[in-house]
Amino acid sequence: MSDDCVFCSIVAGDIPARTVHETDDVIAFLDANPLAPGHTLVIPKSHAPRVGDLEADLASAVFETVTTLTPRVQDAVDADAANVGLNDGEAAGQEVPHVHAHVIPRFAGDGGAPIHAVAGERPDLSDDELDEIAAAIAP
């Protein structure tokens, strides 16, 4: 629990939320400023700022909730699809520093964009550069 974290306050019950799913480790609730009807956030109950800070069990629990909840969210608002994503870090647009997955219902012709739209200008990478990056990521 982090004292000045808005999502920890929701977990503690100090800030009200429209909870749609809860287990011992995970809670999901409607986003207060939804990008679409049904926009839902899935968070671990324990405070972790970034995805890399999550223990494996907790990461699994969060993703399990995302997978079970996404179809339910879509059905509830009669959506055609959904975008599921996390902003990991301030430069990626993360405003609340407590890991949360967004489930954003999408509707045919809603004027939105795919997740590919989140990045800046596309890089033009050579095969060597791609090999180098892959090697740096791989253990």
Selection from 102, 105, 111 nearest residue 71 by Cα: 105
Q: Is 47 a catalytic residue?
A: no
Distance (Å, whole) CA 106 – CA 39:
9
- 31 lies in the site for ligand 5GP, by CB under 6 A: yes
- Closest residue to Zn ion in the complex (CB): 5
Q: Which of 45, 98, 102, 106 binds Zn ion (CB under 5 A)?
A: 98
CA atoms within 13 A on the CB side of 52: 2
- 28 lies in the site for ligand 5GP, by CB under 6 A: no
Q: Which of 21, 39, 98, 100 is catalytic?
A: 100
- 5 lies in the site for Zn ion, by CB under 5 A: yes
> Which x/- pattern over 39-58 shows residues binding Zn ion (rule: CB under 5 A)?
--------x-----------
Q: Which of 8, 20, 28, 29 binds ligand 5GP (CB under 6 A)?
A: 29
Do β-strands 101-106 and 81-85 pair in parallel, antiparallel, or remain unpaired? antiparallel
Given a contact cutoff of 8 angstroms between Cβ atoms, the answer to whether 110 and 36 are in contact is: yes
Given a contact cutoff of 8 angstroms between Cβ atoms, the answer to whether 100 and 86 are in contact is: yes
Catalogue the active-site residues: 100
